[in-house]
Structures are given as structure tokens and as C-alpha cells.
Amino acid sequence: MQHHLSKNGFLLLLSSNMMNIRNCEHNEVYQDMTQPLTSYFISSSHNTYLIEDQLRGPSSIEGYIRALMSGCRCVECKSLRICLLTLGLLGWDNGPQVYHGYTLTSRILFKDIIEDAIRVYAFFKTQYPLILSLENHCSIEQQKIMAQILKDNLGDMLHTDPVNPDIKQLPSPEQLKGKILIKCRKLPAGVTEVAEEDSDDEMNSTTSDDLQVKEMLNQKKKKGKIKLAPELSNLVTYIQSVSFQGFAAVRKQGKPYEMSSYSEKKALKLIDDEAGSL
């Protein structure tokens, strides 16, 4: 016995579990996953379709594949408001596009995202539920197409069971294994269409000197309204997007299946104004 390591032996020792500063038991899920979904921080991706910068960069399904393969459990689609005739004139298939509105980023078809990325890679890394966040800027006709694309490609993976409005807490990640939850606005009971304002979490500033980009961003200030198709609304269950009316309103009448998104600027203001009352 020579009582020393060769170079290769030393490298093997350094790469062994014995030298790993990370607890090897944590390579697998070790936390209690039977608590309500709201009890967990969720690994989320913002503007998942962008693989470079948010002003001029390309949009690609690769963004979704990368996010899902790394274990991300919430990915985002911003669907473009544009008429089907215009899509045809631009040489696109009739169907909603996804891109970062009011910028020079490229566009991809919603169908390609669902068919080639979500359907294939949703549960590649883990079986825990995936949230597909839809920022919807489409016409009623295109929303119906989006709903059909989701149903055709995701089938039983979509969670579509009706939600009991009186529930006190959400199901756990363990109970929702293998399910995809759609995050979007939902029509109130008995309503067939409803106007929906643009989301509040869009980018609201830029350091770019490009006049065209600045003009596009300025156009965003003219908030529009769209309507929500029942076909798309019916796919929304436990993650229903609602406008944030303040913490007092949430405490008084908030539901566990309702959630709100807002900008970092608004979040900082809420911390200053309301943190003491929580």
C-alpha cells in the first residue's frame, strides 16, 4: 500500500458524494409536499419565450424547453392581439402568436409552444403540477383556437375539474401530480363574456435609445380591453387571475384559488404602504 492518491484518484475523490457540500438526500424531493399549493414558493419563469434580451431578442420554444428541463413549474405565454386576416397576410398560419408586446422581439406560434414544448417536456423533470400562465391579448376567435390547441395537445394532463367556490384551501402538489393548471382570467358564474383589462405586470420602462422601441412602449399606455371566451375560461380552475384590490379586500373576501400579478414598482409601494397592517 503506497498511502497516496493518483491524480485520477484525487479527481474521483473530489467528485464523490463524500466531498459534496450539498446533502445528497436533497437530490430527491424531501420536503412535505402534502400542504396546500399556496404554502410553497414556486420556481417560475417570466417571459419564458425570450432567450435573450426583452427588447430585440428572439422568441423561441427553446426558452420553454430549457425552463422545464431545469425544473421550472410556472411558465408564461403572452398571446398577441392581432386579427386572423393580418396573420394570413404576414404569412403566418391562422393562430395566436406569442411575443413581448410593444417591442422588436420575434414571434412564435402558440401552437408550437404547446405542441413541441409543453406537451413533451411538462413533466420531464418532475411530476409535480405545472402552471401555464396566459397573458391573454387575443380576440374571442383566437381564444377559442387557444383553448382547442390546449385540449388537443394536453388532453388529460389539463386540470379542468370544476372548483368548489367554498373551498378553504387549494389541493397539494402531491394531489395535483401530472396536472397542468391554466392561470388566466375566468368568467363569473352565469356570464358568457367579460371585458378584461391588460395585465399590470408588463415592462414599464427601457434604457434603449431606439426611437421605434420607445414609441411602441408609449403606445402601451393606451390600455385596451378585450373579451374572454368561455372555451378558454372553462380551462381555468385553481389559478384564477384577479385584479389586486389591496390586502384588506383580500382578507375580507379573497378566495384561495384567486391570485394577482403586479409590477415590482407596485410591490415596493405595497410594502411601504401596507406591510405594517399585515
DSSP letters for 118-150: IHHHTTSS--S-EEEEEEE---HHHHHHHHHHH
Q: Which residue has the cell 397542468?
A: 180
Instruction: List the domains of the chain with CATH numbers.
Output: 33-249 (3.20.20.190)
Q: What is the model's pLDDT at position 129?
A: 97
Mean pLDDT per 10-residue run, the chain (278 residues)? 81 85 80 94 92 88 95 88 42 72 86 96 96 90 94 96 93 97 89 56 40 45 68 95 86 90 87 76
Going by C-alpha positions, the residue among 235, 32, 209 that lies closest to residue 153 is: 235
For residue 10, what is its C-alpha cell? 484525487
The catalytically annotated residue of 4, 26, 46, 159 is: 46
Q: What is the model's pLDDT at position 150?
A: 96
For residue 122, what is its C-alpha cell? 411538462
The catalytically annotated residue of 3, 100, 137, 159 is: 100
Q: Which residue has the cell 398577441?
A: 80
Q: What is the model's pLDDT at position 91?
A: 44
Predicted structure pTM score: 0.78
Q: What is the model's pLDDT at position 176?
A: 97
Residue 153 to residues 75, 76, 110, 274: CA-CA distances in angstroms? Answer: 17, 17, 12, 43
Q: What is the model's pLDDT at position 147?
A: 95
For residue 206, what is its C-alpha cell? 427601457
Catalytic annotation present for 4: no
**Euclidean distance between CA atoms 55 and 53, whole angstroms:** 6
| Amino acid symbol at 248 | A
CB 257 within 8 Å of CB 170: yes
Per the DSSP assignment, residues forming a β-bridge with 183 are 133
Q: What is the model's pLDDT at position 225?
A: 60
